[in-house]
């Protein structure tokens, strides 16, 4: 069987984070000076000249992508301050947290898990950009559809007796239900206080939002990465509780808007739907 290519949606997301740094105003929703270095010169140069990045669809998508990382990193900080020492970034793509670590994360062990070809592409880009991999960071290549997270993490010396933090951003929508359930039941089997922050593809309350979602679904399918599973907060919350999580919470639009988006001068749109949440064992 031919090996699957590196994720192209992961690079699209990196472009959105780099664009935020370059074309959006202050304060940054996510202060990420590393993403731009992971782009090739042509992609980087194209950002300022790409009017699509100012379309309402790509602004909403950009807000979603920035917000989910910000929310996850804030929860990780709280967990780290509370003594959590293992952080697993599932489907890491070009996530840059490990390469712009604040002081509070230096005591963490950070494990990036991704599809083997996507992980290889990221490590190549890091090398090409001369970005050093900090010594508290390691990599585990896994295909969630065929390999168990338990086996992959065990082989890398992950300590399953410790409370751990997982982030799983922009991945669930690309997986089939059994692969999603396998990841959730593994995390739910970890010690109490372990947590997963996740994002998911939910429906938008407006017709314009649903039309944007349709266009984005078409775009990612054309990249060979179709959305396979869309979820809604109600059933997803029930699934998480059934998997064994004791506490489930979602970032609601009023909360997201008040915390991250109100009063901006760059016109980035407010959030209309729930698409990010966290679950604690
Ligand atoms: C849209 S990208 C998101 C990347 C990153 N989490 C972020 O927010 O920037 C989707 C990621 O999911 C990973 N992915 C999708 N299907 C996967 C699978 N079956 N096994 C492992 N990783 C997978 C891709 O390799 C890619 O890195």
Predicted pLDDT of residue 121 = 96
Percentage with pLDDT > 70 across the chain: 99
- In this predicted structure, the answer to whether residue 281 has a pLDDT above a threshold of 80 is yes
The mean per-residue pLDDT over the stretch 225-235 comes to 94
pTM: 0.96
Predicted pLDDT of residue 2 = 59
Indicate if ligand 1 lies below 6 Å from the C-beta of 114.
Answer: yes
Indicate if ligand 1 lies below 6 Å from the C-beta of 278.
Answer: no
Q: What integer best gives the mean pLDDT of the chain? A: 95
Indicate if ligand 1 lies below 6 Å from the C-beta of 198.
Answer: no
238 CB-side CA count, 13 A: 4
**Mutate which of 73, 91, 197 to test ligand 1's pocket (most atoms within 8 Å of Cβ)?**
91
The mean per-residue pLDDT over the stretch 151-180 comes to 95
Could you tell me the distance, in angstroms and rounded to a whole number, from the CA of residue 263 to the centre of ligand 1? Answer: 32
Tell me which residue has its CA closest to atom 13 in ligand 1.
Answer: 91
8-23 vs 56-81: helix crossing angle, rounded to 10: 90
What domains are defined for the chain?
Answer: 8-280 (3.40.50.150)
The mean per-residue pLDDT over the stretch 221-242 comes to 95
**Mutate which of 4, 7, 76, 226 to test ligand 1's pocket (most atoms within 8 Å of Cβ)?**
7
70, 29 in Cβ contact below 8 A? yes
Q: How far is CA 96 from the centre of its chain?
A: 10
Could you tell me the distance, in angstroms and rounded to a whole number, from the CA of residue 8 to the centre of ligand 1? Answer: 9
- In this predicted structure, the answer to whether residue 231 has a pLDDT above a threshold of 70 is yes
Question: pLDDT tens digit string along 95-104?
Answer: 999 999 999 9
227, 217 in Cβ contact below 8 A? yes
The mean per-residue pLDDT over the stretch 20-47 comes to 95
Q: Of 86, 92, 245, 108, whose CA–CA distance to 154 is shortest?
A: 86
Q: Which of 47-56, 101-110, 240-249 has the lowest mean pLDDT?
A: 47-56
Predicted pLDDT of residue 273 = 93
- In this predicted structure, the answer to whether residue 1 has a pLDDT above a threshold of 60 is no
The mean per-residue pLDDT over the stretch 151-176 comes to 95
199, 169 in Cβ contact below 8 A? yes
Q: Which two tokens stand for residue 192?
A: 């109490």
The confidence band for 156, taking pLDDT boundaries of 50, 70 and 90, is confident
Could you tell me the distance, in angstroms and rounded to a whole number, from the CA of residue 92 to the centre of ligand 1? Answer: 6
7, 118 in Cβ contact below 8 A? yes
Could you tell me the distance, in angstroms and rounded to a whole number, from the CA of residue 52 to the centre of ligand 1? Answer: 23
Could you tell me the distance, in angstroms and rounded to a whole number, from the CA of residue 168 to the centre of ligand 1? Answer: 9
Residues in contact with 261: Cβ distance below 8 Å, sequence separation at least 6, in sequence order: 29, 63, 268, 269, 270, 271
Question: pLDDT tens digit string along 80-95?
Answer: 999 999 999 999 999 9
Percentage with pLDDT > 90 across the chain: 90
The mean per-residue pLDDT over the stretch 2-22 comes to 92
Q: What is the DSSP string of 16-49?
A: HHHHHHHHS-SSPSS--SSGGGGS-HHHHHHSTT
Could you tell me the distance, in angstroms and rounded to a whole number, from the CA of residue 173 to the centre of ligand 1? Answer: 9
Neighbour tally for 153: CB within 10 Å:
21
The mean per-residue pLDDT over the stretch 199-228 comes to 92
Length of the chain, please?
Answer: 281
The confidence band for 40, taking pLDDT boundaries of 50, 70 and 90, is very high
Sign of CA dihedral 45, 224, 125, 276: positive
Indicate if ligand 1 lies below 6 Å from the C-beta of 201.
Answer: no
Could you tell me the distance, in angstroms and rounded to a whole number, from the CA of residue 15 to the centre of ligand 1? Answer: 15
User: Between vectors from CA 179 to CA 109 and to CA 241, what angle results, nearest 5°?
Assistant: 80
Q: Which atom of ligand 1 is nearest to the CA of 122?
A: 27
Indicate if ligand 1 lies below 6 Å from the C-beta of 144.
Answer: yes
The confidence band for 155, taking pLDDT boundaries of 50, 70 and 90, is confident
Predicted pLDDT of residue 4 = 80
């Amino acid at each position: 069987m031919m090996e699957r290519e590196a994720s192209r949606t992961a690079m699209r997301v990196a472009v959105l984070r780099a664009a935020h740094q370059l074309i959006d105003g202050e304060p940054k929703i996510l202060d990420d000076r590393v993403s731009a270095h992971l782009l090739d010169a042509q992609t980087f140069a194209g950002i300022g000249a790409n009017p699509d990045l100012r379309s309402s669809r790509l602004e909403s998508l950009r807000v979603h992508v920035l917000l989910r990382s910000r929310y996850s990193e804030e929860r990780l900080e709280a967990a780290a301050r509370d003594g959590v020492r293992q952080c697993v970034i599932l489907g890491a793509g070009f996530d840059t947290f490990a390469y712009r670590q604040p002081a509070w994360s230096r005591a963490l062990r950070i494990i990036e898990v991704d599809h083997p070809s996507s992980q290889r592409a990221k490590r190549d880009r890091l090398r090409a950009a001369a970005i050093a991999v900090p010594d508290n960071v390691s990599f585990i290549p896994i295909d969630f559809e065929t390999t168990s997270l338990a086996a992959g993490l065990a082989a890398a010396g992950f300590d399953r007796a410790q409370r751990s933090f997982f982030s799983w951003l922009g991945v669930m929508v690309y997986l089939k239900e059994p692969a999603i359930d396998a990841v959730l039941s593994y995390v739910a089997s970890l010690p109490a206080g372990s947590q997963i922050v996740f994002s998911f593809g939910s429906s938008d309350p407006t017709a314009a939002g649903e039309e944007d979602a349709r266009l984005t679904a078409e775009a990612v399918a054309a990249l060979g990465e179709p959305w396979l599973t869309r979820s809604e907060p109600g059933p997803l919350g029930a699934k998480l509780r059934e998997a064994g999580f004791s506490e489930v919470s979602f970032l609601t639009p009023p909360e997201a808007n008040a915390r991250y988006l109100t009063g901006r001068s760059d016109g980035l749109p407010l959030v209309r739907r729930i698409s990010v949440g966290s679950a604690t064992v």
